[in-house]
Structure 1
Amino acid sequence: MDLTAIENSKTLILSNPAVQWNITFCPQNIGALGSMRIGKDGKLYMTNGQPQVCTGTSGVGLALHVINQPDLPGLSCSPNLNAIYNFQNGMSETYGRTNLPREIVLPPKNRIDTITSPLMRKNVCYHENDTLKVADGASCIEWSNGSPDNIITVTQSGIYWVKYFKDCVLYIDSFDVHFATMPNIEAVQYGCPGYIELKAGAINGAPFGLSLYNSFGGKIYEKDNGIYHSIPNLDAGIYTLNISSLGDCFTTMEVELKAYPIPVITVIPPIAQLLIGEEITLSAYGAMNYIWTPAGSLNTRTSNEVIAKPTETTDYTVVGTNDYGCRDTAYVKVSVDYNKNIRIPNAFTPNGDRINDLFSLPGGNWNILRFEVYNRYGQMVYQYSDNKAGWDGRYMDKDCDAGIYYYN
């Protein structure tokens, strides 16, 4: 084997050194070189691989080698063999050795000196914080947040770890903590009677499952993994919510739905009758805003007071809403009298004084198909289609004689 490269590198080869080896007192069962550790002082520490206790004299018991300058090559790293000992391990004080006030012990046989536990998952259901605890009997504890305590409090999801010694073995435990936050659900919610909307969750929240039950125990809603749940058209009362989240989290809560006051709408008059062509004012009271239907025969549809001029019997509906948006409905029936008997005057005086100068039909909501006036000889002296204003008592630009005339 060519060792030139190793020699030229001036590398220190570590072995199991046996200083003052005494087979009589310490049987030859030397193990491998102990695990190496870098101390906080930057020095390298390792066990010498000897039995934990060497009975007798002049033997070498369990001790620690120290490399004072591990970053330097060769012997310049300043190795110090068996530099740390303890008299209970069968070692005696010698120049350059330091007596450790505690016994140096080895882990049990067939045990590794570092155990990394599998990742432990922990779900925190609907609480703002939780605690993580190190195993009983642990020492030299160091958490991922730097805490040396047996118990730490966590408030956020994430991976947490803890290092500690127990029975001369270094353990590293890791925790995967997941916080399931309680959905945003108000315990008391309001709405209009029969139209209350129960809301649970938030648009940017975490998904959760929701089942909703009424006061009689009947299920009225169920959905898995929604970030926002909305159940409309509910009555006032107490409702039970079953809430579930990822990680087998489950809880139950009650929500009270309360109803806003509703307006009470009245219409004056509540019923009316008109002759064809007449109009009437209808007034509504009890709300803030109004909508009337049908609107075709109304002068407006959004006022509390409207003028109606129907051409046929009509059932009007007015919906009023209050400040809460709750509404009530009222109705009014306007009947129309279709009696078209026209009352026509039986005399007129066409003398030019602008008083009763014309013989005409009274105005109304009807169509005149034919209106003619005849003298006593049966001669037609006026026809509506030629002069729609009415008969002025003249025929062919001449005044007609006073007397009896007929019309149809």
Structure 2
Amino acid sequence: MRKSYFFKILVLVFLAFGVIPASAQNGMAGKEFWVGFLSSYYNSVDIILNISSNHNTSGTVSIPLQNWDTTFSVNAGGMASILLPAQVVQNSTSEVSRNNGVFISSAENITVFAANHSMYSTDASYVLPLNMLQADYFAVSYTAYGQAPSDALIVATQNNTIIEITPSINTFWGKPAGIPFSITLNRGQTYLLRSESGGDLSGTQIAGKGQFKPFAVFSGVYITNIPSGNCCADHLFQQMLPVDYWGLEYLVAPVKGNFAIRIVASEANTEVKINNGGPILLNKGQYFTAHHLNTPQYISSNKAITVAQYLQSSDSGGAGDPAMTIISPVKRGICSANFSTLQVSTVNEHYLNIITKTTVNNKVYLNGNDISLGFIPFLIAPDYSHKLILINHGTYNLTADSGFIANVFGIGNIDSYFYSLGIGGGYYEPIVDFNVSQPACTGQAIDFSVNQIAHSYQWLLGDGNSATGSKISYIYDKPGSYKISLIINSPEGYCETLYTDTIEKIIEVHELPNYSMFTDTTLCGKYSSININLPGSANKFLWSTGDTSSSVTIENAGNYWVLASNQGCSRRDTFKIKKLNYPKIELFADKKSICPFETAHLNTHSNAGLNFKWTTGETTKNIIANQEGMYGVEGSNECGTAKDSIHINALVNPSVNISNDTTILLGTFTPLQATGGISYSWHPPTGLSCTNCPNPIAAPEQTTLYYVTSTGENGCKTMDSVMVIVDIDLHIYIPNIFSPNGDGQNDVLYVRGKGIKNLQFFIYNRWGEMVFESRDLNYGWDGTFRGQLLAPGVFVYSIVAILETGQRVVKNGDVTLIK
């Protein structure tokens, strides 16, 4: 579109949409395809798939994770167009996965072409079949217009696909340039990577990790003008070729108006030349761009590169708005293509650009008409010629005897489209040689390979067996000379009559050293050694000891290896020598007799590295014995077994007798007595006259439980205990009423108490006259005074007592005399 200068008018588009075709000679044909779509600058977008086939066939277009599908059918040489739901399949959010991958399947081979169209912007791309997808890509894009982003889109074809992305520029959400990050996608999921505003993702590597799981990559720009900074901008969209399909040589034919090219390298130290000029040095992911070109370009390199061609904006010498396609390498041409131009109201000129071999016998036909004349040889690569043809809108068939590389583009004042007619196997080149891995040895896989793309390969291996494929591995059982024949047929993509070429080579297969390998061995004894001899077909030896003969004597433990060779066929084996002492073992016990509830520790003294087995079933080096019996132990290693045993006796505890529990008054004592042992130990020691005698005197100040441990003649010990209760209730008590009436009940008033040593007891009447006095606990008042029984009444008493503890107690009160 011309962004600033044209009034935008809604037009009807895609009345008929062109398609890269599908003959059997076009590698773009297949039965399964995956595709995804970028979002465009415009909101109103038509997303279309065009499907064609050389067969009458049918199939399904689906968005598996959205439960959307539709069917199609197509006649041989015809085309089916499918309109997809744009709001579902477009991707506009960076660095998130979405469930909108589109899957196409059919019963027979088809080719698929994808396009999007909005007002004044049309973009298209071939879609690679599933069997052409790989797991290593680099994005090719262009600098976005203004603040718009550059885009790359991944479509997964299998579950748990792990992909590592190394952005060449900071991403929309800030992932830094040059720092890899990984994502995991499931079948049918997509992942959009967008650059920062105004960025260019070209050179971004997108590579699978772990198990090989192919995926598709599409790249482009939300909106751009070419060169950057000029007025006229379009959306770009193109499927990326896997690195395996890149090449070393490219031819770029001129278009109407100026064009640009971009070259991206896959490896470091890539030297690129344009028209055999001075080398341009590119490292992995770096790119070179040239603008304002209008002549044929020959591009060569020492390592694989990919090349994009751009139509420039109309105000920069271009004939329309920007458009982009990926150029096929020289050696990946095709032989036939069915295609249609795009009928878009904003495009009024359609062109076919053809590159083919410069040979007299190479006939090029367009819809059956010979157009072989008028091809112009490339000055730098005269073996190839190009021709630009103005064609009308319509459907075409293009063929060439020697194959071709071609693209179609359309231009108008405010729109353009640009797409390649496909990528194939390449042009046929006679086989020169094939590779054989060396050395060639019996019993080992020998690799055979040829760097030649072909339709079929047959290897005759000289022993009556054969194999197919460009790379094979084969194992010979016997040594000898073998004549190897490789028969190669021209590949499906080549256009000459099927060509067969054969090359022969004689190889010598030598016998791999054959001997019985010495196994890991254990030597027994300090001075032991072993002699190892390796008889057999080997004629050279090298041991890790430095010896070079067929035998070696080894005395020390360690890891060893030997390398035996025969005519370059080498066998390396490793073995281990262990050296052990003969087992020695001696059994010790910390005690050989145990009392009840005691244990004995049984310890082994032995050389290191033994395995132990006790008669108890235990396997530790040391054990604990808790009962009487014979204990045996075996200690073993690879050199033998040693044994020892020991008997553990069980003893009986002594019988101890001890005093009964007793009660004493505070301040008094009691003797304790223990019998039945030869020695005694009392505890706690508080209040005892001795702690290691059989009969201590106990005078505790509080109730105490005394333990005695009695040791018998065999050393075993028995424990018992005795409780000494201390009565600390030393209060003095006197009744407050008594009745001296001769009935034998409470006739005498006594002072009661414990621990009283001395006593003074006085009784007074209410006038203070003393009526009774006593100094004896057993002498109480009978209620009389001077021989006469006193009348009932209240009397006062006074007590002064000296206790056994020496404490002086004074107590006063009253008592009532009744009858």
Which bracket does the TM-score occupy, shorter chain normalised? 0.3 to 0.5
TM-score after normalising by structure 1: 0.38
* Structure 2 length-normalised TM: 0.21
